[in-house]
Amino acid sequence: MKGSKAKKSKNVLPGFGLSMGFTIAYLSLIVLIPLAGVFVKTTGLSWNEFWAVITNPRVIASYRISFTTSVLAALTNLVFGLLVAWVLVRYRFPGKKIIDSLVDLPFALPTAVAGIALTAIYAPNGWVGSLLEPLGLKVAYTQLGITIALIFIGIPFVVRTVQPVLQDFEKDTEEAAVMLGAYRWRTFWKVIFPELLPALLTGFTLAFARGIGEYGSVVFISGNMPMKTEIAPLLIMTKLEQFDYKGATAIALVMLIISFLLLLLINFMQWRISRRTIAE
Amino acid sequence: MAGAVTAHLSQEASKRPKHITESAGVRWLLISIALVFLSLAVVMPLVSVFIEAFKKGFDVYKAAITDPDALSALRLTLFVALIAVPLNAVFGISAAWAISKFRFKGKNFLITLIDLPFAVSPVISGMIYILLFGAQGFLGPWLDKHDIQIVFALPGIVLATIFVTVPFVARELIPLMQAQGVQEEEAAAVLGAKGWQIFWRITLPNIKWGLLYGVILSNARAMGEFGAVSVVSGHIRGETNTLPLHIEILYNEYQFSASFAVASLLVMLAVLTLLVKALFEWKTNQGASHEKLN
């Protein structure tokens, strides 16, 4: 009792007021107040105007394209991200350190550079594009191209959320499963996979959230055809260039709400993971 | 979110007894699939930038990166990063200090707020400053009267870049400082050290590698930011064009080799960032194994 009280009234460390004050002031000025502007600006629209903008067929098509390509890319990353994380944590092979570093490349590489590089590779005359062309498979300037750009962008998110969980996984649990006569595959599905699930879901959501908002790596490879390969962020850009600020804000508001919900979900899942590890 | 990116490969994890690992065949199959996936998805784009850049020879490459417009874009990019990165580093240290050294209500909420710029589309990150400072914006008429230009000019580019890179240093430092705890600082405080003395002598040496990586990463993101900067820049050649915007212009003008040549500069920056990260991990691992020995 005394101990916990001492801990509470405790802190001998200085600087709480200063650091907290600066943090809140900086966040408010740079992030919160400008973001609030979007919400205030849309109140300038009547409900009918707002509804007309966001239910315009071209806008709906752009949401649908952003959504489906992001889901497909995140699913691909879920499978291959788990595989990469597994291989990096559990096996030894030459060049492992370099491979591990490369996973972060999409995180450090400017999106526009990724965009032009992927377009060059998957264009009909590119390295991969020219191989797929005779098979009748078009990648650049289609939704498949958008998906590939989003796969590139999303790789680190799944690998880096799964990796630490896999690293901390107790050998004992697996040992026990083996003792009880479980086969390797069964051990994976029944013992390891359930433990990894929260991390996998977090990685999926992170990659998905990033994919929905992604702009730079997509605009080059997508071809930007309205109704076909026009993503939602690009439509906002187009509206801004036409000085249609109200239209741009309405589309942005819908995207912001989706992003906030995803962010809440991610933080909730991370809270669950950390609570579980503390409990153990 | 960036915090998730720091993971360490420990050596012992890879040595596993036979009965709880896969057979050699399965092992090599999985490794091969992972390697093929990463080569296709990550290595190929990286290599293709350099090959496309040198396709028309070294002279075209040199001409592209010494072109006056390219140089002015480089100068602008460096200048913007020089303002944005230190500000976000100070913010990151301050936020990590408050979050990791003290207990307070709403800590998780504050961390979520710091993450916000990650979740916002870069296009929206640029747009919010147009809504605030643009001609039709809230402060537009006032700024116009006083002849201050923020959007479609340097201040707008700086603001958008700061917004996009706000979380990086903070997200590197928070988990690091949380793991280190408060004992060392408290001991110093009990022995009579002043606040700044504690920070400079104890905390900073402890976090220097994490801080360096955070700074380098936010620098790479600041110099490479495309969507947000594109919205607020106004695309005035030689004036408000950053390197990524210059790459876009060259690309749209079908000057592919020149475009990839400029892009290769940013690729080198990204590779440097990864090298610093490897160094950071090596240093932390070294510290960890040193502690274990003691």
Q: CA triplet A163, A166, A172: central angle to 5 degrees?
A: 165
Chain A residue with the nearest C-alpha to that of B192: A12
Buried b / exposed e over B17-34, threshold 16 CB at 10 Å, is: eeebbbeeeebeebbeeb
* CA A62 vs CA A66, A204, A226, B8, B201: distances in Å: 6, 21, 8, 39, 53
Phi, psi of B191, deg, nearest 5: -80, 0
Chain A residue with the nearest C-alpha to that of B246: A112
Cβ–Cβ of B121/A11 closer than 8 Å? no
Distance CA A239, CA A216 (A): 17
Q: Which of A85, A213, A221, A233 is nearest to A155 (CA)?
A: A85
Give the distance from residue A40's alpha carbon to the nearest chain B alpha carbon, in angstroms: 10
**Which of B48, B90, B162 shows the shortest C-beta gap to A117?**
B48
What tens digit of pLDDT does each residue of A30-69 get? 999 999 988 888 878 889 999 999 999 999 999 999 999 9
Instruction: Say how far residue B23 (Cα) sits from the centre of its chain.
Output: 40
Say if A96 is an interface residue toward chain B (CB within 8 Å): yes
Give one DSSP letter per residue of B167-230, joined into a string: HHHHHHHHHHHHHH-SHHHHHHHHTT--HHHHIIIIIHHHHHHHHHHHHHHHHHHHHH--HHHH
Cβ–Cβ of A84/B48 closer than 8 Å? no
Instruction: Say how far residue A147 (Cα) sits from the centre of its chain.
Output: 13
Chain A residue with the nearest C-alpha to that of B164: A31
Looking at residue B240, its pLDDT comes to 87
Chain A residue with the nearest C-alpha to that of B14: A90
Cβ–Cβ of A110/B217 closer than 8 Å? no
Cβ–Cβ of A15/B162 closer than 8 Å? no
Cβ–Cβ of A233/B162 closer than 8 Å? no
Contacts of B123 in chain A (CB under 8 A): 213, 215, 233-234, 236-237, 240, 252
Distance CA A107, CA B165 (A): 12
Chain B residue with the nearest C-alpha to that of A113: B263
Cβ–Cβ of B95/A23 closer than 8 Å? yes
Q: Choose from A5, A20, A23, A70 for mutation: most chain B CBs within 10 A.
A: A23
Helix (H) / strand (E) element for B9: namely none
- Other CB atoms within a 10 A radius of the CB of residue B184 amount to 15
Q: Choose from B18, B123, B180, B199 for mutation: most chain A CBs within 10 A.
A: B123
Contacts of B19 in chain A (CB under 8 A): 175, 178
Contacts of A235 in chain B (CB under 8 A): none
* CA A101 vs CA A30, A92, B270, B279: distances in Å: 32, 15, 11, 11
Distance CA A205, CA A197 (A): 12
Looking at residue A6, its pLDDT comes to 41
Would you say A213 and A255 are in contact if contact means Cβ atoms under 8 Å apart? yes
Cβ–Cβ of A213/B44 closer than 8 Å? no
The label of the residue with tokens 């090298």 reads B275
Looking at residue A8, its pLDDT comes to 45
Cβ–Cβ of B108/A271 closer than 8 Å? yes
**Which of B9, B38, B116 shows the shortest C-beta gap to A31?**
B116
Task: Give this prediction's pTM.
Answer: 0.90
Would you say B168 and B88 are in contact if contact means Cβ atoms under 8 Å apart? yes
Looking at residue B149, its pLDDT comes to 87
Distance CA A275, CA B190 (A): 32
What tens digit of pLDDT does each residue of A78-94 get? 999 999 999 999 898 99
Looking at residue B25, its pLDDT comes to 86
**Which of B30, B41, B226 shows the shortest C-beta gap to A155?**
B41
Enumerate residue ranges in chain A where pLDDT < 50: 1-9
Phi, psi of A206, deg, nearest 5: -60, -45
- Other CB atoms within a 10 A radius of the CB of residue A182 amount to 16
Q: Which of B226, B221, B198, B220 is nearest to B273 (CA)?
A: B220
- Other CB atoms within a 10 A radius of the CB of residue A65 amount to 22
What DSSP designation does B165 have?
H
| ipTM of this complex prediction, to 2 decimal places | 0.88
Distance CA B107, CA B102 (A): 10
Cβ–Cβ of B97/A114 closer than 8 Å? no
Chain B residue with the nearest C-alpha to that of A101: B274
pLDDT in tens, chain B (294 residues): 444 444 445 444 446 676 677 788 888 999 999 999 999 999 999 999 999 999 999 999 999 999 999 999 999 999 999 999 999 999 999 999 999 999 999 898 899 899 889 889 999 999 999 999 988 888 888 888 888 888 889 999 999 999 999 999 999 999 999 988 899 999 999 998 888 999 999 999 999 999 999 999 999 999 999 999 999 997 777 788 999 999 999 999 999 999 999 999 999 999 999 999 888 888 877 776 666 565
Helix (H) / strand (E) element for A246: namely helix A245-279
Please list, in sequence order, all residues whose beta carbon lies within 8 angstroms of the beta carbon of residue A219, skipping any fewer than 6 positions away. A115, A231, A234
Give the distance from residue B294's alpha carbon to the nearest chain A alpha carbon, in angstroms: 22
Cβ–Cβ of A88/B9 closer than 8 Å? yes
Q: Choose from A109, A166, A271 for mutation: most chain B CBs within 10 A.
A: A109
Buried b / exposed e over A15-51, threshold 16 CB at 10 Å, is: beeebbebbbebbeebbeebbebbeebbeebeeeebe
Q: Which of B91, B228, B65 is nearest to A233 (CA)?
A: B228
Buried b / exposed e over A206-244, threshold 16 CB at 10 Å, is: bbbbbbbbbbbbbbbbbbbeeeebbbbbbbbbbbbeeee
Q: Which of A212, A114, A231 is nearest to B248 (CA)?
A: A114
Interface of A with B in 225-264 (CB under 8 A): 232-234, 236-237, 240, 243, 245, 248-249, 252, 255-256, 259-260, 262-264
Superfamily classification of domain A46-279: MetI-like (1.10.3720.10)
Cβ–Cβ of A116/B259 closer than 8 Å? yes
Give the distance from residue A245's alpha carbon to the nearest chain B alpha carbon, in angstroms: 8
Cβ–Cβ of A220/B112 closer than 8 Å? no
